[in-house]
């Protein structure tokens, strides 16, 4: 029975945010022996009104609320800290039920707000430039934990779903290693009866797990970003161990086959590391690769942190690199670093979990 997936081995209660709407209907019929409209009411309380307890679901009769309390849970993620950057970016630190910590980042930009969500506790991929990559993977986040980052961030900004216009799954973890929960969580984000985000405004970023990219293509219309970060196998394998398993040509071929007319263009992310992958030859090779894919290129100057010796190129060099791509007709933009002062920029998440912990960057991918 599908709803059993929502019951964790150590728990007797079903987390209702682990269910799709259809599964919730089944739960209401089979476990509560209630009419289907109750499922709609509960779903709306969860995702329209952001209820954090059954008590808040005041349109449900008292006996039903007590029954729900006995068999189900909607316990919110606990926000343990909110850090605000001088550029307006906010980092929310959450404590999960088992005590693990993850982070989400709210990034305001010209009247719009992007929310960056985590999908795993730590990350197994071990990319050499990434702070999160120094935290070994503890576990995947559940569907409920992914959705709840959004729910709690929305409550934090005032509760109106129009205020968060874009969601990127670019926080802690490799989302496609947690494909099932990511797809199901994004289905809730895109459901009109929940948050109603369009597939173009929900983007998942991967380090390049080829079989999972193909599976995503089958299962979800969400937009795809890929961290390419190098233009030769030699360099990419050195800074991203995943490349030893799925070399560049295999990855590029999967990306050539990925698009369809309803989907947003693929975003190719390219972290610029001075003296490593930022040569003007790299820019020319990147233009050739990008020319094969329906994509935009997003250059990301390296965000320095205490667990890496890489450096970002100078702004002038970034511009020279970008100009080569633009002159080759590739739509290329440079990501402004946001939230560096709160350890909240790209590749910097997990500081709360790391403090006091050992540094254990993986060297082999375990997709």
Long-range contacts of 5-11 (CB under 8 A, 24+ apart): 6/143, 6/144, 8/142, 11/73
Burial class of residue 232 (count of CB atoms within 10 Å of its CB; 0-12, 13-18, 19+): middle
Q: Which two tokens stand for residue 104?
A: 């989400």
At its nearest, how many Å lie between ligand SAH and the CB of residue 122?
A: 11
CA distance 128 to 357: 18
- 237 is written with which tokens? 């394998």
Decide if residue 129 touches ligand SAH (CB under 6 A).
yes
Number of residues that bind ligand SAH (CB under 6 A): 17
- Coil, strand or helix: which one is 92? strand
User: Least distance to ligand SAH from the beta carbon of 303, Å?
Assistant: 4
Task: Choose between 44 and 215: whose C-beta lies nearer to ligand SF4.
Answer: 215
Cα distances (Å, whole numbers) of residue 59 to 51, 54, 278: 12, 10, 58
Residue of 3, 123, 210, 287 interacting with ligand SF4 (CB under 6 A):
123
x-or-dash string of contact with ligand SAH, 203-232, rule CB under 6 A: --xxx-------------------x-x---
Site for ligand SF4 in 221-240 (CB under 6 A): 227
> Which residue do the tokens 């934990």 mark?
145
Q: What is the dihedral of CA 268, 274, 277, 281, to 10 degrees?
A: 110
Which residues, 241 to 270, sit near ligand SAH by CB under 6 A? 269
Interface positions, 287-346, toward ligand SAH (CB under 6 A): 300, 302-303, 305, 346
Of the pair 73, 212, the CB lying nearest ligand SAH is at: 212
Q: CB under 5 to 8 A by kind: which of ligand SAH, ligand SF4, none does 229 bind?
A: ligand SAH
Q: Looking at the annotation, which residues are catalytic? A: 103, 346
Of 39 and 365, the one with the shorter C-beta distance to ligand SF4 is 365
Number of residues that bind ligand SF4 (CB under 6 A): 12
Touching ligand SF4, residues 135-174 (CB under 6 A): 173-174
Quick check: 348 binds ligand SF4 (CB under 6 A)?
no
**Site membership for ligand SF4, residue 130 (CB under 6 A):** yes
Q: Which residues pair with 301 in a beta bridge?
A: 272
Residue 116 CA to residue 103 CA, distance in Å, equals: 9
Strand segments (E) across the chain: 14-15, 72-73, 78-84, 90-95, 101-109, 112-116, 120-121, 139-140, 166-169, 202-206, 223-227, 266-272, 295-301, 332-334
Q: How far is the CB of 362 from ligand SF4 (least distance, A)?
A: 8
d(CA 192, CA 244): 41
Binding site for ligand SF4 (CB under 6 A): 123, 125-127, 130, 132-133, 173-174, 207, 227, 347
Binding site for ligand SAH (CB under 6 A): 129-130, 170, 174, 205-207, 227, 229, 269, 271, 300, 302-303, 305, 346-347
């Amino acid at each position: 029975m599908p709803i059993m997936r929502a019951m964790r081995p150590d728990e007797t209660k079903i987390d209702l945010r682990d269910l799709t709407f259809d599964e919730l209907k089944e739960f209401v019929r089979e476990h509560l022996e209630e009419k289907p409209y109750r499922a709609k009411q509960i779903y709306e309380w969860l995702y329209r009104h952001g209820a954090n307890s059954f008590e808040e679901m005041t349109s449900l009769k008292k006996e039903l609320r007590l029954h729900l309390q006995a068999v189900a849970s909607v316990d919110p993620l606990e926000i343990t800290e909110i850090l605000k950057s001088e550029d307006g970016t906010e980092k929310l630190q959450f404590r999960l039920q088992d005590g693990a910590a993850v982070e989400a980042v709210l990034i305001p930009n010209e009247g719009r707000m992007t929310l960056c969500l985590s999908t795993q506790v730590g990350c197994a991929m071990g990319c050499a430039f990434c702070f999160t990559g120094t935290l070994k993977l503890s576990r995947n986040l559940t569907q409920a934990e992914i959705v709840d980052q959004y729910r709690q961030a929305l409550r934090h900004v005032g509760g109106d779903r129009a205020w968060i216009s874009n969601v990127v799954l670019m926080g802690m973890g490799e989302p496609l290693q947690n494909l099932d929960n990511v797809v199901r969580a994004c289905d809730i984000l895109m459901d009109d009866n929940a948050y109603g985000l369009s597939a173009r405004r929900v983007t998942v970023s991967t380090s390049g797990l080829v079989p999972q990219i193909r599976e995503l293509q089958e299962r979800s219309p969400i937009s795809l970003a890929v961290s390419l970060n190098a233009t030769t196998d030699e360099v990419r394998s050195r800074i991203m161990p995943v490349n030893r398993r799925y070399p560049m040509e295999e990855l590029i071929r999967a990306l050539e086959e990925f698009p369809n007319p309803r989907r947003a263009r693929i975003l190719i992310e390219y972290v610029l590391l001075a003296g490593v992958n930022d040569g003007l030859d790299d820019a020319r090779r990147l233009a050739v690769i990008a020319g094969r894919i329906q994509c935009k290129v997003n250059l990301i100057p390296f965000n320095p942190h205490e667990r890496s010796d890489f450096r970002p190129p100078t702004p002038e060099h970034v511009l020279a690199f970008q100009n080569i791509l633009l002159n080759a007709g590739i739509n290329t933009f440079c990501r402004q670093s946001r939230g560096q002062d709160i350890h909240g920029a790209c590749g910097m998440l997990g500081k709360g979990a790391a403090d006091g912990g050992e540094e254990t960057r993986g060297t082999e991918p375990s997709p």
